[in-house]
Structure 1
Amino acid sequence: PCLSARWSSCEDKCPEKTGYFPDPIQCDLYYKCSQGQPEEKLCPDGLVFDDTNPNSARCDIPANIDCGDRTELQDPRPSPGCPRANGYFRHSDPQVCDKFFNCVEGVTNELPCPPGLIYDDIRSTCAWPSESHRTDCFNSKKDLLDDGFSCPDGEVIGPTGRALPHPTYPHPEDCQKFYICRNGVMPQKGSCPGGLVYNEVSFKCDEPENVVGWRQVYPLRHNLVQTLDYLNWVFVKT
């Protein structure tokens, strides 16, 4: 029963008397060996056998397993949205890059990537477009706020010399307001607490005195500060 085109004996299928061992050609096929006798096993469609631990019969998605020369697979059992019964797959709409399908026994579940990321079907995970293996996802439309703001391209380097994960940008007309770009791509509006203004050098809300140009935006406050400083000086002198 152990003779076939790929095996010459039971010993070839079971290098040890007990354990789980891979087929040399088919990545989702393996053998459960007991007392040197092999029992053929097959991973669920879409998963492949992990041959790193002979004491475990573990199947996983292909992105997590190095099949090496084990290039063959069982015939697929596709369903709508699922090229195989199990696994992660790119969206069926080629224009949709920020969503993917999680298939479990042929049942399709649509899942979103975090803002700014796209699905990379080589690694079966979401990734930044620049780090993805896909070349068909660079024409996606940018999100726009009601005032027309959208997140600029490129990284923003913060005061520490590192790229900011959620960079902020000044409002063009109101120094107390600013924009936040979540993951660099999803714009949101922000505003400073009362009395503070946005500092585009430090990328945070700050005292107006520390922000260049605040006097032109808030002349009344500037005059009030000068008046209070003068009164404090008079009080100290007297």
Structure 2
Amino acid sequence: MAFNDLNPKVEKCDFLFQVSCKGRPDLQRPKPTDNCPRQNGYFPHEDQTNCREFFYCTNGISSPLTCPESLVFSTKTGTCVWPEEAGRTNCASEKVFNFTCPKVGMDTAVTHPRYADPQDCQYFYVCINGETPRRNGCSFGQVFDTKSVTCAEPKDVPDCADYYIEYFENYFETLEAGARPSGDILTAARASGYEIPEFRERVRIRPGDAVPTRRGTTTASPRGERPEGRPLRRRRPGGNGGLRRRKRPTTTTTTTTTTPPPEYYDDYYYYDETYDNVDNKDDSSY
């Protein structure tokens, strides 16, 4: 490391890329170890064509790190930057992305035109000033539409309509029994036109509450009759999904006989419920 005298109020040792050593060329003798040219600092991968991976070294012990998608490690700043900012010969944008911006006129170039990633529907390239490519991506559940040059729902982009289908098939097949799919997954599935499968929902029943029956039947659970005045929770009309509790009806009784609540063996019952609200835009009911 080197002494940083940039601010007299903050006198400290710092990494070499943070210190101006002009006029002070002497450094400690290096003590290299595996992946660490010096004992402390951030250093690139020994493979100069590996632009995203680098190492953080502390007392000669290295920890591997990887830059986020589309960024490369800069030896000048010790951080992850866009390829053209790193200044590494083997890490130029065209080599990292294997994509070259098409030649366009100045009027188009100044708009930083976008082009679809030929290998992946979710990603696209922004050509800075029509020359330097930067890889960007659409949000999960969306794909890049070459006609509108924006991100759109897969069902509206014929060439990419099936992009997420395999992902959803694996997700729902491996979803644990009784687990609810996340709202993000459901929203993305609907945007892809994916048919959401049925799920078994777990509902908590307190002693004395109504015992749910299978939808479409009128037979109460064999464990006890539904107490009078405690109506069964039903689906919201109109296919909006979710459950709501109907208001307790107001009744007048003249009898003084007290009927004990039915006896339950546990606090949970299971019944089949279907998430058949593919067109429902409100995920709060899941």
> Could you state the TM-score of these two structures normalised by the residue count of structure 1?
0.46
